[in-house]
Amino acid sequence: MGKEVGRFLFYTFSLSWILWGGLAILTQFNLLKFGTTFSIVLFILGGIAPGISEIWLKKKYSSKEEFKLFINNIKNPRHPLVWYIFTIGLAFVACFLPTLWGGASMEKPLYLVLINFPIMIIGGGLEEIGWRGYLQPTLQKRWSPFTSTLIVGGIWAIWHLPLWFVVGSNQTSMNFLWFTLIALALSFLMTVIYLYTKSIFLCIVFHSLINSFWEVYIPNTNVSSGLFTLLFALVIFTALEIYRKKISTKIINSAKSNERMF
């Protein structure tokens, strides 16, 4: 497992940091302005690197059947309606809640979420092919969901680091510690979605919705707000993880009872 994870992280970080690093150098020396077509291409390609890396590695090192199942998971929209409601509602609450303590402010109409959503699938959502589609479940083979989420969230935050050096990017106005706390919070929320559904597709939807809602509820990137959001995510994660374990225990006990009957 360690070799596989290392391989995924090597290709993901190498591809993203070369593209974003090049973008940072070009903007720092005023050779390219962020927002131009070429800069956006570099930005997007760096952002989808986790997905590209994992699809390529899965294609190279897995069986045809495993690869087919993986791709089907990415593009499969067939999930119970309740999970779409849960995913949309959770993304909304995670972005709206900070407005209650001054951690965000509503600056644009809510309907823009629908307009931005398709764009944010490319501008963020497709990352989940690598992070929640591969890294999270792989780490859970060795560690608990809680520990695995902490690791993924920390790696996810560090992976974004070159964007703080891209002149004109949104990240230059963000507090990196706040961003790290938010990355951990969102990781716990997406772990909940993945644990219950095993769906990469829904994780992509959630991530895209978060980025879309952030265009409406603009975050104030202070550390205390990030801590409150992380606390909210931990409460949701803990409550649903306790419930999931209770259900699993009941299923196991029921199976044992049936075995004794025969």
| Full 3-state SS string of 157-199 | HHHCHHHHHCCCCHHHHCCHHHHHHHHHHHHHHHHHHHHHHCC
pTM metric for this prediction? 0.95
**pLDDT score, position 249:** 79
Structure tokens that stand for 59 in this block:
């294609």
Structure tokens that stand for 231 in this block:
């606390």
pLDDT at 255 over 70: no
**pLDDT score, position 170:** 93
**pLDDT score, position 234:** 98
Distances (CA, A) of 166 to 25, 31, 103, 157: 8, 12, 24, 16
Say if residues 225 and 174 touch (Cβ distance below 8 Å): no
Find the angle CA(86)-CA(89)-CA(94) to the nearest 5 degrees: 120
What are 229-252's pLDDT values in tens digits? 999 999 999 999 999 888 877 766
* Distance (Å, whole) CA 139 – CA 142: 6
Mean pLDDT of all residues belonging to the chain: 95
If one counts every other C-beta atom within 10 angstroms of the C-beta of residue 133, the result is 26
* Distance (Å, whole) CA 56 – CA 50: 10
**pLDDT score, position 245:** 87
**pLDDT score, position 254:** 63
* Mean pLDDT within 198-223: 97
* Mean pLDDT within 145-153: 98
State CA 104 to chain mean position distance.
Answer: 20
Question: Dihedrals φ, ψ of 217, to 5°?
Answer: -95, 90
Say if residues 166 and 172 touch (Cβ distance below 8 Å): yes
**pLDDT score, position 145:** 96
Question: Dihedrals φ, ψ of 36, to 5°?
Answer: -75, 165
* Mean pLDDT within 206-214: 98
* Distance (Å, whole) CA 47 – CA 159: 10
**pLDDT score, position 185:** 98
Q: Which amino acid is at 91?
A: A
Residues in the chain: 262
Question: Dihedrals φ, ψ of 31, to 5°?
Answer: -90, -15
Find, among 122, 95, 114, the residue nearest to 106 by Cα: 95
Say if residues 196 and 240 touch (Cβ distance below 8 Å): yes
pLDDT at 257 over 90: no
